[in-house]
Amino acid sequence: MVKGILARKIGMTQILAADGAVVPVTVVQAGPCVVVQRRTAERDGYEAAQLGLVEGRPPRHLPKPLAGQFAKAGVPPTRVLAEFPVATGSEVKPGDTVLCDIFAADETIRVVGTSKGKGFQGAVRRHHFRGGAASHGSMFHRAPGSIGPSAYPSRVFPGTRMAGRMGGDRVTLKRVKVVRVDLERNLLFLRGAVPGGRRALLRLVKG
């Protein structure tokens, strides 16, 4: 069995639990995915499966090696490819379909995505600096302050927290709970928020 799937974020909503509690959830379109290539320990040194996310329109132009890879698997081309681990001894082969039924309600999974890009931001927003006094005449409100001594070492150390581009980073959330599984529409309801905006690509991995 493949231990993960590719998904697209749809948005957030809330559902009612059995005890009447309101649970905030993120709805994701998990799959369907097709197995494009199988990695084996004998040939590649590890067990994995390369999945392609089946979406509306296939890519128009493909490099010849990639087109041959899809033709060998007997599946239509997909825009997104990613590898996921496979349970030892699983009979997974190219052409197989992977659906969201690999997950179950109340299961905890890992969610990997890319956070929203915020553009160029100052140190207060980017690194949560406190800032200076807001009173009249302070002349120090949202400035970063000193970034290093001038006499020695007369340079700015790498990694010094300053203004710069914020967001657009790879984010991994662990122990995200699956609240509900909709097999008919390939939907997963995950508790809480997950990284990225609408239609963002996500990797969902068991465990």
Q: What is the DSSP string of 64-133?
A: HHHHHHHHHHT----S-EEEEEB-TT----TT-EE-GGGS-TT-EEEEEEEPPEEEEE-HHHHH------
Name the range with the highest mean pLDDT among 72-86, 87-101, 109-123. Answer: 109-123
Q: Which residues contact 194 (CB under 8 A, 6 or more apart)?
A: 9, 26, 28, 111, 113, 173, 176, 202
For the segment 37-73, what is each residue's pLDDT rounded down to a tens digit?
888 888 888 889 999 998 877 778 888 888 888 888 8
Percent of the chain with pLDDT over 70: 100
How far, in Å, CA of 8 to CA of 27, rounded? Answer: 9
- Averaged pLDDT score across all residues of the chain: 90
Lookup: tokens for 12: 């957030």
For the segment 110-144, what is each residue's pLDDT rounded down to a tens digit?
999 999 999 999 999 999 999 899 999 999 999 99
pLDDT reading at 28 higher than 90: yes
The whole-number pLDDT of residue 171 equals: 95
When mean pLDDT is compared across 53-62, 99-108, 151-160, the lowest value belongs to: 53-62
- Per-residue confidence at 31, pLDDT binned at 50, 70, 90? confident
Reported pTM: 0.83
- Indicate the length of the chain as a whole number: 207
What are the residues facing 158 on neighbouring strands?
A: none
pLDDT reading at 160 higher than 90: yes
For the chain, domain boundaries:
117-167
Q: Which residues contact 74 (CB under 8 A, 6 or more apart)?
A: 94, 95
Percent of the chain with pLDDT over 90: 57
Q: How far is CA 44 from CA 35, 37, 41, 48, in A?
A: 16, 12, 5, 9
Inter-residue contact 77 to 59 (CB < 8 Å): yes
The whole-number pLDDT of residue 72 equals: 85
How far, in Å, CA of 70 to CA of 91, rounded? Answer: 19
The whole-number pLDDT of residue 89 equals: 73
- Per-residue confidence at 202, pLDDT binned at 50, 70, 90? very high
Instruction: State the sign of the Cα–Cα–Cα–Cα dihedral 96, 97, 98, 102.
Output: negative
Q: Which of 70, 81, 78, 8 is nearest to 48 (CA)?
A: 81
When mean pLDDT is compared across 9-13, 36-40, 56-60, 160-164, the lowest value belongs to: 56-60
